[in-house]
Amino acid sequence: MGKGLWSGGKWRVVFLRSMVAKDKDDVVFKKGMTMPLAFAIWDGGNLEKDGQKSVTTWHELKVE
């Protein structure tokens, strides 16, 4: 699950997922871990799909 808010020219997004992996290929999150994270963003309003997207630089995800 997730929710995003556009305000002041920036996105703020919160994602919610169980710490326990439900699939063998899912990441297992552990409290205190840090891992690299990047996003691919499609703008459907601009008819973007498939390979038409923007990609972020790497960010750091801290699991609390």
In a domain, 24, yes or no: no
Summarize pLDDT for 4-61 with one digit per residue, the tens. 999 999 889 888 888 888 899 998 889 999 999 999 888 888 888 888 889 999 999 9
With residue 3 as reference, give the H or E element that holds it.
strand 2-7
Q: What per-residue confidence (pLDDT) applies to 61?
A: 92
| Domain contains 19 | no
pLDDT at 17: 86
In a domain? residue 55? yes
For the chain, the C-alpha Rg in angstroms (whole number) is 14
pLDDT at 55: 92
User: What is the count of structural domains for the chain?
Assistant: 1
Residue 16 lies in a domain: no
The residue segments making up the domain with residue 36 are: 30-64
Instruction: For residue 13, give Cα distances in angstroms to 8, 39, 42.
Output: 14, 12, 15
Tell me, yes or no, whether 7 lies in a domain: no
Residue 7 confidence (pLDDT)? 95
